[in-house]
Chains A and B, each alone.
Chain A
Amino acid sequence: MEFRFFEIYRSQEYMGLLAEGAALSSALAIGSGLLGFLLAAVLSSLRYFEVPGLRHFATAYVEVIRNTPLIVQLFFFAFGLPLLVGYAWPFWAHALLALTINFSGYFSEILRAGYAAVPAGQVEAAMALGVKKLTLFRKVIFPQAVAAMYSSLNSQFIFLFLTTGVIAEIGVTDLTSAGLFIDSRTFRSFEVFITLTVIYILLALAFKALLNGAYYQMFQWKRAR
């Protein structure tokens, strides 16, 4: 048994590939995280307002997303749907679409729990003041639900980020695919995947720190006086 990590870090080409892969993985995770959050806000509000018809659609959507593996969803959006509907985007766009839809299912369920956590008195007070239901949702319920569920959303995002490696399977040149390429060149699988794992963990820790730091920026009323 002999470890040869230097075969990776001495090569400028490999380090460049890893850096590019890490950047793409992060960018896709952030992009689909934000888009997924927006979609989740819409989906969960459909259920919150009990919009006839659409609320059942939202429920079914969330259940299907949460009860099927990401990789099956990914293959469907990358290989199945394009054939049926006739779109052919770059690989990363297919990954962005699949990840956005996947993230939205998980975020939606967390948000729904957040709405339930907003004290009923606030809703009653706002209604007594004659605030419209949509305004009430936008100004009172949604921000508080997000603040209440912030740590859940945060760790869910980190866990979802750690699973994005599967997008290498549809040809996206992300961090995992950079690792697989280096592995195929050097045959140092153990060293390569240890390196990848460390990069993934470091990125996850960075995301976590960043999101935790943003908490008081986003929810100023939570700041201790």
Chain B
Amino acid sequence: MKQTQEPAYRVLTGPEGLLPPAAAIMGIHLPEDGEGLVEGRIVPEEKAMEAAAIAMLTRKNPTLFPGPLMLWGWNEHTIEKSAPFFEVAREIPGVRIIPMPDYRPIYPKIDPEAVINPCHPNLTIWHNKIEACVFIGVHCHFANITLKMIRAGTNCYTIALCAEAGHEDAMASVPQFTAEKLKNFAETLKRVKKNGIKPLYEGQGIIPSGWAQIAGLTGVEAVKPEEEMVEAGFAHDLEKGLDENEE
């Protein structure tokens, strides 16, 4: 259903309260292809990209959260996005990349520098003092629950670049986000900088966070021998955590 009148509700940077409503229930409608959402209002796509670019350049500790669809290369569409994803990263000085490789709960604790987990996304946001972030390649259900929890308890400006219909619970969202649109987002970042937006972390590259980042992006020796990392893997950490915290 097309949005016929301006909804009273706005999707603003939090913290909004203990349990904010889902924006869709409050009358926020998803945009069509070529449009975007900014704080619950439908705007042209380039306006949404611009708002997202400004937030990522000017707010503290901007972070990219690539989800499983980016990380695991499940299909052609996700694979073709990986190159422009790094183009975007390069245009945001001081950006971190913290992946969401999985939706499994990680207890007793996550390593907030290594991952963000949908069961307690606020921990990653709080620990790293993230005030702007991009979700990309996260399945819509998990993106939405995560975005709601972030809005509830943090002051993070959330951006959802969605391959499907978009996300009402993000402060900025663009639907049908193709590799082409990802390239456009990199161009938008360049343009807003050229137009006078001074990045908060001018001169800094991608800031490593977590052992995966250190190993992969900066060329620094991995904190563990590589074979041990492969052998241990993600499940190993999970099992250890569960055992330690057995009730």
Q: Do A and B share a complex? A: no
**Chain B interface residues (CB < 8 Å from chain A):** none
